[in-house]
Amino acid sequence: MWRTKVGRTLKESDQLICKELKIPINIDKNQALLWRLPLNHQKIPIVDKDLKKRKAGFNGEATVYYHLSFLNDKRYKIFHDVRLPLFSNYFQIDFLILTPFYILLIEVKNISGIVKIDPLIRQLTRTYKGLTEGFSDPISQVQRQKLLLQKWFSVQKLKIPPLEHLVVFSNPSTILNFTEPPPADSPYRNIIHSQNIIDKIKDLNETYVKEAITDKELSKMKKTILKKHKESELDLLETYSLTQGDIVTGVRCENCNYIPMIRVSGAWSCVKCGNSSKYAHIEAVREYFLLISDHITNQELRRFLHLNSRNTAYKILKSLQLETKGGTKSVTYSKPTR
């Protein structure tokens, strides 16, 4: 969409979007798990709830991404979902915007209803459908990320421009109420609705008029971030205390989600809805990689797809053009990189 329209004609160093919006792999994993738990499995409600939460979070980020797409100066370097290692841990930032003048960290909140913010005791409560619940204070959260990023820059020996932060509520119908107006210099002034994001960035541009780093330093910073970023990849079997035995094997019908489809003369057929597909196994292998392991053998594939023929399994694996390891008898096929 917008990125290809703008990004395609620019040189790599001129790019505005350095790390584009992408559906996190944990959403794909969560969805695959939901498809592949037996219908009456006790973990379904929690897996379903987590998936909805993850999707809502991503949709919120997509809203913010849309608003950021109105920035048109190529000196902004925009990164969606950055996760950087620091000592033995990682810290994650929803959006990071680098400029030669300042750096902006954006924490996105997708919280519906009436949100009450108390800057004095650093508390956030939300009332929705008659229920009031507490949330962790997003300003404390983003300030912590700021400290971690500062530390990370110094470990990487990168020059640090002033760091700014925003907490952006992505749902326009969320009502934000402050218990008392935060003073002019309070970090709580930086809690906004997503539609105000560009105005807020314009304010920052007026505040920071002096270049803190050169274009060359900015470019080095961009490269280091992209190199050190590592996407979060959960092992969902571990997360939900499941075993491989909990996962339903077989090819899934993409039309009605029924598992297993059966193989009839070189194609997959759904006994429930009658749908037929030549390539439904591709998705099944993808789900295997998402949930079970990074590698698969011929035998494991036959078990997972309910195939009898070693030769058919071989042909399928070959057609997927996966990287292989090991000799002819013990060959394993690796999951493709994203």
> Residues in the site for Zn ion, rule: CB under 5 A?
253, 255-256, 258, 270, 272-273, 275
Closest distance to Zn ion from the beta carbon of 250 (Å)? 12
Sort 315 into a burial class: Cβ within 10 Å, 0-12 / 13-18 / 19+: exposed
H-helix segments, 36-177 = 44-68, 138-155
Closest distance to Zn ion from the beta carbon of 283 (Å)? 13
CB distance 261 to 252 below 8 Å: yes
Question: Rounded to an integer, what distance in angstroms lies between the CA atom of residue 138 and that of residue 282?
Answer: 41
Q: Give the SS3 label for residue 207.
A: helix
Nearer to Zn ion, 143 or 269 (CB): 269
Strand partners, 107: 167
Nearer to Zn ion, 32 or 84 (CB): 32
Question: Rounded to an integer, what distance in angstroms lies between the CA atom of residue 55 and that of residue 26?
Answer: 10
Closest distance to Zn ion from the beta carbon of 242 (Å)? 25
Nearer to Zn ion, 204 or 253 (CB): 253
Closest distance to Zn ion from the beta carbon of 55 (Å)? 23
CB distance 108 to 237 below 8 Å: no
CB distance 135 to 125 below 8 Å: yes
Closest distance to Zn ion from the beta carbon of 269 (Å)? 9
Do strands 191-193 and 175-178 pair parallel, antiparallel, or not at all (unpaired)?
unpaired
Closest distance to Zn ion from the beta carbon of 111 (Å)? 37
Nearer to Zn ion, 187 or 250 (CB): 250
On the question of a cis peptide bond just before residue 24, with omega within 30 degrees of 0, the verdict is no
Nearer to Zn ion, 226 or 271 (CB): 271
- Distant-in-sequence, close-in-space partners of 25: CB < 8 Å, separation ≥ 6: 231, 232, 233, 290, 338
Closest distance to Zn ion from the beta carbon of 52 (Å)? 24
CB distance 271 to 262 below 8 Å: yes
Nearer to Zn ion, 228 or 286 (CB): 286
Nearer to Zn ion, 123 or 275 (CB): 275
CB distance 178 to 188 below 8 Å: yes
